[in-house]
A and B are shown apart, each in its own frame.
Chain A
Amino acid sequence: MPLKNDGKIRPDGIEKVTGSLKYLTDRRMEGMLYGRVLRSHYPHALIKSIHTKDAEELPGVKAVITAADVPGLNGFGIVTPNQPVFCEEKVRYMGDAVAAVAAVSKEAAEEALDKIIVEYEELPILDTMEKSLAKEAAELHKEGNILHRAEQKRGSAEEAFASCDVVVEETYETPRQMHTYMETEGGVVVPEKNGGITVYMGTQHGLKDRFQLSRILQMEEENIRVVSSPMGGSFGGKDELNVQPYAALLALKTGKPVHIHNSRKESVRAGIKRHAMKIKMKTGADREGKLLAHQTYIEADTGAYATLGPAILEFAVEHASGPYDIENVHTKGLSIYTNNGVAGEFRGFGGNQITFALEGQISRLAAALNMDLHDFQAANMRKNESPGPLGHRIAPTNGGLLVLEAAERIRKEKEAELKEKQPPGKYIKRGIGTAVTMHGGGLGYGRLDPSGGMIRLNREGKIEGVFGFEECGQGIVAVIENTLVQAFECRREDVCFLIGDTEKVPVSGSTTASRGTSMVHHAVQRLKPLFQQQLFERAAALLDKSPADFYTGKGGLYKFETREQAITYRELAEAFPEKTLEVQTTFDFPVTPDEIDSGHFLYTFGSVVVEIEIDMRLGVVRVIDLQHAVAAGPVVNPKGYRGQVEGGGVMSIGYSLMENAAMTNGQYDTDNLDTYMIPSIQDAPAEMKVEAIEDLYENDQYGPRGVGEIGTVAVAPAIAEAVFQAIGTHITSIPISREILMKLGRKENRYEARV
């Protein structure tokens, strides 16, 4: 059943629709200065000298800082901190920071940037992976030009190809996609009396920012407070540090709050992007349509620095065989440094690229075998107890088959609808396409993945869920609220949440990898009995009863005997003003028991059905309809669930049809939203359906899974499949080239028009 509106309102909603919500970039403070960062003039160069004197002497300029002003580690990066806060000797991409200024006005800061003189000696630009891999290439880092290699092997694909009746081989290319959160990076950093700082800047993991900043500033973590929510979108793009270090250093140097808010141009230039990948796949099956062998080679352009490049590559490697049972799989991947923009975390985390390639292979094989795509997919779909894609144990699941069947049902319905529709105009071709995917949640085996949370009865007598998660728009606040309401069977007014402030929240881990919803659920399940027990004991003491006499309900505790309210939450809180009632838990995201690097344990499944029309004159593809089926366990927040999947879907329409942060000579071709196009309201289907498959496989104890990413993963291959269905041609790269489609159309139409 498609998801419907549950009539509930998000707790942060009223502030958002009235424009009264202060985003962190909206904050203004007394005596605040404006900061700006000077970025490199070249994609690759040696820094010969930096002269800041002229800038310092400008009226209104309060500080100019460079590498010399970094007290601690001059580097950041969630895993490997090899991105300099300020470059000292060498710049490796256009977004590299060289200096920063703080001034009394934006104009003065801007002028100061112009006055900083940096002398460079240009170096050859490694603007393609090919150039970086060449023998004579300069080494961008001391470890060379390969950030990471990943390899996974099961059976022997190389040998198994011999016994395949059909083998298809293809190279796929995917673009560097920009997150394009509508709120660009920024906020304010405030120096505190105790010598510490408060950082009001968005991130997906406040505690991690605190850790990274403490390393840079050489300051105890306790002295750094990070307030990191709400954000105007992130999609993975704000997980890594961006302008926090600059504002922090400037605030400490000037003793004043420093505000930095990237312009879109600066955001494009310095911000991370989705990895552009080149993926070579060779896949074989026997005559009956059983997949026998699958070989993949991935090259990911990771740009100038590490950030999460290795993990993303590993994710892609893990998901190379997707939801299919294939005995012989061999996957290799390289994450390659270049002088291009830094690539890092982005919703889907390598899954989008690899799924585009994999589903492309599946479609090509089905065609080669003359089999129906669905039948071919179904014949090879993983079984409930099949091992995970790395041959490791995972939580048993039938999600793959369920989403596949849903897609097939929807496809058939749509096909019937199409027959009823007016035939399209002469130049228009129609097609319906489907694709499926399987997507791991959590960080994977071998990565510290702690989570946790806290529930307390606060002073106002509200049940407060306290988490280290961040609100980027995805609706974690609604998830917390709904989960608490459900757990305690209370009213919405009885609960509240506290997130996004390192001073006040426990470790929950990052708000990434589709883990938020799932971790809130786990935490509340663990905390519920503890919290209730404490509530009951308090009530028992107050009312001279036994703890076992009570249960939680709307507005307070009730007595089993009479089903009547015994005491309100507020009364319970007020009765013990000194002693807050609080329970806390920590635990790890569930992982596979098998020792296998990066292997996931909990997976979600998604299928996509799209209907497209191609204007063959111009090669323009329009998505007429986009439907999803998602198997991610029970729905905690229907509007959030639907919104994440619909929104993710449209983001991937962009990925498939128009988005490419292309670079030439290490410079972005597009520097703002007038050239980098994301889907407008007319590029998205006006109505979309999202089918949530809530049933979990028997005995599954893991509850709801996150759906932050799954809606983005299988859209591109579904569109590619629809193109194939429409015109019989398999495309190999996205965004889909209009020129290629048009040339196909031109041949046909010219012929038709002339006879």
Chain B
Amino acid sequence: MLEPKIKFENVVKNFKTSSGDNHILGNLSFDIFAEEFVCVLGPSGCGKSTILSLIAGLLKPSSGKVIFNSKLVERPDSSRTLVFQEYALFPWLNILDNVAFGLTTKNHGKEKPQKKAMEYLNLVGLSEYKNYPVNQVSGGMRQRVALARALAVEPEVLLLDEPFGALDQQTRENMQNELLRLWMKTKKTVIFVTHSVDEALKLADRILVIGGKPGKLLFDATVAVSRPRDLKDSHLINIRNQILDNLTHPDFFMGSDI
């Protein structure tokens, strides 16, 4: 039997606040397998970012287990890298040094950071911009830098938290295709958080729909449609309807503009 890459076992997450415990995730269980492209979908505040932080090891569950490669997640390390909507690039480093950042830590001490970073900058098509300050390039380019930085340390799992949410529609579509290309080339396990149904339908092998308070797994949809996908494909429309049926939250963003 194939071991899952990531396993959530009855994961509960509460945050302590001044007004008592805030229950964010309630008894969440799922498996994610190697090389899967999984989208985590759900309304704002349902705990999607919290799920990524738990996988990354930035947070510990209040109870239950978060398991990576059959071991409990203890702390963050470069086998699971995180990409944010707001890029979170280091403004005092130029583009190349941003990509090289993870390679300067002691796990990667032996290789030449800049040389390897250059390979990954090439991969996202930004080698000409290597000496640019990060705040002098467009949002789409910044997100490419963030992707290159997250991939350069050769993680097993790539965690993306609404990575294209701040981009205009054209750039967002380009970046989606770019990400699919990178995923097919590097064969990472990808966990992609979004609150857009259509973005999830376009990208994912599997969609985990989270909702409710505290957040629970409402629906686990396998999307067995070959890429590139046409959202008018009857199979996708079918899945889309099932997802929407599961989401009764009133302020849910339908994402029909993707």
Q: Do A and B interact?
A: no
Chain B residues in the interface with A (C-beta under 8 A): none
